[in-house]
């Protein structure tokens, strides 16, 4: 389908950070055909009036557990160990594949409404999330989470072979909206022998690895005591960062200078989720250092059980505010940088390298904001307005791969009423069901 957006303001996030006013965008099929001068032979099937609209590249969420929408608000005001041991890993013992489907569908509705078109998911029964990706029209990098402690302690008695079969079946790469990675939970849960098998499988399948890494001082201390190495150095030694595709490591909050150098050298992508860190009192990852050292950092919400929502606008805002405040430096994390961390950096981390800018030939992944509102006036700096002022409720339209997922504030691909109803019933059943602790976290 050919779409012409006429007379909009555009935050291109191109290499020159161009901001265009009263400008046209031509979209042909999956891609942006032209920005500015529209070729005479371009014939749109649909013309969108861009007056009072700001067009921005869509967001990519670099680490989440989307079906955890079902336990949103169920494990509040608890430290990380009690949050996992007493709540999250207990509720998940009662989880069914259908719960995963509806939880991910609810997450997708929420993500689309707040301008996110791509997410890196790390959870169980990933074939269910793959179905949601198919239906919703979003993009995703799906990693089936495994602990490597034996089938009886895995959700749904999953095995590495099962996740390998899923990856083989679903991984398309290239033009597809779906990518797959292997998802060992973390160095603190997974035995070395299991992690070595994961590395072998990643090489065989030619896919990446997505895991949690170095989230606390206690995890580092334990790793030093058990392996004589930090978690980052330990994972490097086991070969987790030498796969055919860069690894995606969530968090890296407690890291040494040596760890940082290693993450940079091995081209590991680090997902940064400041709202989760603050909410669980985990301390802040050194985002500024990541970027100074050339580490590929990208912003992420983490799961809605810790973050409470999937709003990348808020993550972007917090990422900026925390760095400015911690460094006592207002120049830290300028708006253009934050916007890239929420768009192109996440897209790259997930393997969608032609997303993240409104440029000719780029993928048509974009958001339209309604700027005809009090909090958008005056429009001195549109990048600052998106980072520090915009609300998810300002998003009127969202396009992914040239297809509308949200149009005039209505979800196009998902039956939102049904998704909300199913998710609510399942969430109430889940936390009221007979639950038991599946496994134990030790700091
Ligand atoms: Zn996580």
- Over residues 159-179, the pLDDT tens digits come to 999 999 999 988 776 779 999
Number of domains in the chain: 2
Using an 8 Å Cβ cutoff, are 23 and 35 in contact? yes
- How confident is residue 435, by pLDDT bands cut at 50, 70 and 90? low
Contact (Cβ atoms closer than 8 angstroms) between residue 213 and residue 252: yes
d(CA 139, CA 417): 22
Ligand 1 center from residue 54 Cα (angstroms): 32
Interval between CA 112 and ligand 1 midpoint (Å): 20
Distance (Å) from CA 302 to ligand 1 centroid: 5
Residues within 5 Å of ion ligand 1 by Cβ?
250, 302
- Give just the sign of the alpha carbon dihedral 206, 293, 65, 403: negative
Do you find a cis peptide bond into 378, omega within 30 degrees of 0? yes
Please compute the mean of the pLDDT values over residues 310-328 and round it to a whole number. 98
Q: What does the DSSP 8-state code read for residue 118?
A: E
Task: Using alpha carbons, select from 81, 181, 179, 102 the residue that is nearest to residue 138.
Answer: 179
Burial of 255 (0-12, 13-18, 19+ CB in 10 A): buried
pLDDT at 439 over 80: no
For residue 306, the number of C-alpha atoms closer than 13 Å in the C-beta half-sphere is 25
Q: What is the CATH number of the domain that holds 19?
A: 2.30.40.10
Q: What percent of the chain has pLDDT over 90?
A: 87
Q: Are residues 344 and 229 in the same domain?
A: yes
Is 418 inside any structural domain? no
Give residue 441 CA to ligand 1 midpoint distance, Å. Answer: 14
Distance CA 370, CA 375 (A): 11
How far, in Å, from the CA of 64 to the mean position of ligand 1?
Answer: 6
One domain, residues 64 and 51: no
**Could you report the per-residue pLDDT of 50-85, keeping only the tens digit for each?**
999 999 999 999 999 999 999 999 889 998 888 888
* 193 plus 234 within the same structural domain: yes
| C-alpha of residue 172 to centroid of ligand 1, in Å | 24
Residue 46 sits in the same domain as residue 71: no
Question: Encoding tokens for residue 399?
Answer: 């396009």
How many Å lie between the centroid of ligand 1 and the Cα of residue 300?
9
Task: Note whether residue 422 is domain-resident.
Answer: no
310 and 391 belong to one structural domain: no
Helices 97-113 and 416-432: angle between axes, nearest 10 degrees: 130
CA distances from 21 to 55, 254, 363 (A): 10, 43, 21
Same domain, 151 and 162: yes
For residue 213 the two structure tokens come to 């890494």
Q: How far is the CA of 308 from the centre of ligand 1 (A)?
A: 13
Q: What is the DSSP string of 371-436?
A: --SGGG-S-S-HHHHHHHT--GGGEEEEEETTEEEEETTEESSS-HHHHHHHHHHHHHHHHHS---
Distance in Å, CA 13 to ligand 1 centroid: 28
Q: 132 in a domain, yes or no?
A: yes
Sequential DSSP letters for 39-78: -TT---SEEEE-TTEEEEEPEEEEEE-GGGGGGTTSS-S-
Q: Which two tokens stand for residue 287?
A: 């985002």
What distance in angstroms lies between residue 212's CA and the mean position of ligand 1's atoms?
6
CATH of the domain at 321: 3.20.20.140
Are residues 73 and 50 located together in one domain of the fold? no
Please give the structure tokens belonging to residue 363: 């993928």
- How many A from CA of 284 to the centre of ligand 1? 15
- Phi, psi angles (nearest 5°) of residue 43: -115, 105
Write down the mean pLDDT value for the chain: 95
Structural domain of residue 237, as residue ranges?
59-349
The encoded tokens of residue 142 equal 């799906």
> Whose structure tokens read 């179905």?
131
Predicted TM-score (pTM) of this structure: 0.96
Long-range contacts of 226-232 (CB under 8 A, 24+ apart): 230/255, 230/256, 230/258, 230/259, 231/186, 231/187, 231/188, 232/256, 232/258, 232/259, 232/262, 232/263
Residues 6 or more apart whose Cβ sits within 8 Å of residue 425: none
| CA–centroid distance, residue 358 to ligand 1 (Å) | 30
Using the mean position of ligand 1's atoms as its centre, give its distance from the Cα of residue 305 in Å.
10
Residue 436 predicted with pLDDT over 80: no
Backbone angles phi, psi at 402, to 5 degrees: 80, 5
Block residue for tokens 């520090």 = 388
Which strand (E) or helix (H) includes residue 315?
helix 312-326
The H or E element that residue 337 is part of is: helix 335-342
pLDDT tens-place string over residues 399-408: 999 999 999 9
CA dist 210 and 178 (Å) reads 15
Q: Under DSSP, is residue 180 helix (H, G, I), strand (E, B) or coil?
A: strand
3-state DSSP assignment of residue 293 = coil
Instruction: Tell me whether residue 70 is in a domain.
Output: yes
Confirm whether 176 is domain-assigned: yes
- Ligand 1 centre distance from Cα of residue 304 (Å): 10
Structure-block tokens of residue 421: 């109803």
For the chain, give me the number of helices (H) and strands (E)?
Answer: 17, 17
In this prediction, residues 274-278 reach a mean pLDDT of 97
Q: How far is CA 299 from CA 61, 171, 344, in A?
A: 6, 24, 10
Share of the chain above pLDDT 70, in %: 98
The rounded distance, in Å, linking the Cα atoms of 117 and 399 is 8
One domain, residues 260 and 381: no
Are both 71 and 51 inside the same structural domain? no
Query: Do 369 and 284 share a domain, yes or no?
Result: no
CA 416 – ligand 1 centroid, Å: 26
**Shared domain check, 301 and 375:** no
pLDDT for position 443: 65
Q: How far is the CA of 232 from the centre of ligand 1 (A)?
A: 16
Q: What pLDDT is recorded for position 434?
A: 65
Separation of CA 36 and ligand 1 centre (Å): 40
> Which is nearest to 138 in space by CA: 313, 399, 419?
399
pLDDT above 70: residue 34: yes
* Residues 377-399, mean pLDDT to the nearest whole number: 97
423 assigned to some structural domain: no
Residue 62: exposure state from Cβ atoms within 10 A (0-12, 13-18, ≥19): buried
CA of 331 to the centre of ligand 1 (A): 29
The residue-averaged pLDDT of 379-389 equals: 97
pLDDT at 10 over 70: yes
Quote the ligand 1 centre to 61 CA distance (angstroms): 12
């Amino acid at each position: 389908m050919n779409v012409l957006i006429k007379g909009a303001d555009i935050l291109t996030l191109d290499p020159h950070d161009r901001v265009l006013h009263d400008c046209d965008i031509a979209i042909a099929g999956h891609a942006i055909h032209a920005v500015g001068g529209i070729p005479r032979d371009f014939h749109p099937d649909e013309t969108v009036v861009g007056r009072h609209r700001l067009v921005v590249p869509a967001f990519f969420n670099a680490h989440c557990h989307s079906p955890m929408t079902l336990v949103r608000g169920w494990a509040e005001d608890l430290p990380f160990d009690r949050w996992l041991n007493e709540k999250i890993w207990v509720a998940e013992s009662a989880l069914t594949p259908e719960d995963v489907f509806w939880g991910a569908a609810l997450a997708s509705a929420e993500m689309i409404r707040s301008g996110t078109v791509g997410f890196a998911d790390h959870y169980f029964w990933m074939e269910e999330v793959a179905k949601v990706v198919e239906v919703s029209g979003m993009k995703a990098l799906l990693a089936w989470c495994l602990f490597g402690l034996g089938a009886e302690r895995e959700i749904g008695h999953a095995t590495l072979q099962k996740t390998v079969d899923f990856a083989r079946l679903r991984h398309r790469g290239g033009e597809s909206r779906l990518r797959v990675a292997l998802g060992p939970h973390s160095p603190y849960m997974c035995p070395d022998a299991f992690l070595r098998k994961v590395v072998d499988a990643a090489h065989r399948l030619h896919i990446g690895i997505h895991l949690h890494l170095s989230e606390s001082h206690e995890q580092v201390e334990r790793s030093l005591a058990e392996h004589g190495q930090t978690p980052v150095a330990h994972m490097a030694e086991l070969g987790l960062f030498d796969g055919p595709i860069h690894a995606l490591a969530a968090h890296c909050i407690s890291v040494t200078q040596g760890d940082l150098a290693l993450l940079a050298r091995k081209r590991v992508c680090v997902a940064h989720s400041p709202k989760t860190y603050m909410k669980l009192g985990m301390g802040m990852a050194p985002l500024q250092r990541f970027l100074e050292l050339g580490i590929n950092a990208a912003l992420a919400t983490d799961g809605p059980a810790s973050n409470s929502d999937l709003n990348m606008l808020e993550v972007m805002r917090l990422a900026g505010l925390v760095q400015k405040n911690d460094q006592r430096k207002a120049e830290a994390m300028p708006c253009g940088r934050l916007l890239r961390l929420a768009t192109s950096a996440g897209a790259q981390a997930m393997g969608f390298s032609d997303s993240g800018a409104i440029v000719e030939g780029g993928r048509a992944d974009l958001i339209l904001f309604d700027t005809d509102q009090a909090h958008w006036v005056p429009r001195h700096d549109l990048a600052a307005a998106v980072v520090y002022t915009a609300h998810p409720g300002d998003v009127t339209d969202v396009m992914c791969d040239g297809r509308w997922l949200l149009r005039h504030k209505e979800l196009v691909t998902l039956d939102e009423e049904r998704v909300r109803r199913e998710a609510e019933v399942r969430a109430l059943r889940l936390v009221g069901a007979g639950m038991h602790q599946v496994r134990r976290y030790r700091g």
